[in-house]
Structure 1
Amino acid sequence: MEGSCAQHSAHVRAIGAHDRRLDSHSKQIDEHQEQLSALNETLAALKEIERQNQQRIDAMNERLAVLEARPAKRWENMADRALWALVAAAVGWALASIGVG
């Protein structure tokens, strides 16, 4: 019977040690879950910031495209005016050649 009690005591001590380790690990798991929750919140905030930054970049790209197109439009307008001036000069010269005017 004495051997039985010694074994029982050893089991009780082992169970107690395992309970303490389990409690310690449970606390660690809880802390990790809190950290994970905080990381998820931070990640969500960063995704929102990234979305807003992408909207700003898209808006800036649109404005830049408009600004880059302005000189091209000026050259097109000047080329159109020059072409119309040449056509008007040619028509005027042709009319002057036939004696109209």
Structure 2
Amino acid sequence: MMERLIKRFLEYVSVETTSSFESKTFPSTNTQLGLARILKAEMESIGLKEVVLDDYGYVLGTLPSNIESDIPVIGFIAHMDTSPDMSGKEIKPS
């Protein structure tokens, strides 16, 4: 399990997602959509429901409850880009 988790993480950080200060679009570069597509596929493969990748590069999904009790909902939010000041291009994690 841990090896699979590490493999996924290393794959994610290998994707070039440097943003552009000059861009007027969202996401600011097309390469950022590459990671979004990977995350969407991963979310679907592990059983999340209602997985969508919108035009702005946001990836959303729902993990259905596995219990009958009415419990609070939690959300996780993160950004996928790296700053142009510290490019993530050609990163070779190990």
TM-score range, shorter chain: under 0.3
Q: Greater helix share, 1 or 2?
A: 1
Q: Scaled by the length of structure 1, what TM-score is found?
A: 0.22
Q: Scaled by the length of structure 2, what TM-score is found?
A: 0.23
Higher relative CO (Cα under 8 Å, sequence separation at least 6) belongs to 2
